[in-house]
Amino acid sequence: MANYPTDRKYTQNHEWIQVDGGTATVGITEFAQKQLGDMVFVDVPTVGRKVETGEPFGTVESVKSVSDLFMPVGGKVTEMNTELSDEPELLNYEPHDTWVIKVQVSDKEAIKGLLSAEQYEKYLKSEAG
């Protein structure tokens, strides 16, 4: 199993979030990219869009399927990773170094409910049975 970076939080939907002040960077976990396979397309919201905690904010399409991305915290999109438009496969190579969107956090309370790296790894083990 991967060693998940401890400088961020994780969701049970397999997104990671790294918070710096009022800005959160969001991506997908290594587990998610392994489940999805080779990425062929990433669709994310435009800058300025407001997103709510738990709501789908975009999709990733792989050779296997299309999957929703869910917001770990609510906020307003301030930046999207435009490199993913031309190179969605970046998510396959370095999922913990490749971000999808950045948001100005409006729902700071939601961060408290997210999983630490250790909790996320335990969650993955429990799901694997």
pLDDT-based confidence at residue 8 (cuts at 50, 70, 90): very high
CA distance 103 to 76: 5
- Answer whether residue 1 shows pLDDT above 70: no
> Which alpha helices (H) appear in 38-108, and where do they start and end?
83-86, 90-93
- Answer whether residue 81 shows pLDDT above 80: yes
Contact indicator for 92, 68 with CB cutoff of 8 Å: no
Percent of the chain with pLDDT over 70: 98
- Answer whether residue 118 shows pLDDT above 60: yes
According to CATH, the topology of domain 13-110 is OB fold (Dihydrolipoamide Acetyltransferase, E2P) (2.40.50)
Read off the pLDDT of each residue in 26-42 and give the average, rounded to a whole number: 94
pLDDT-based confidence at residue 31 (cuts at 50, 70, 90): very high
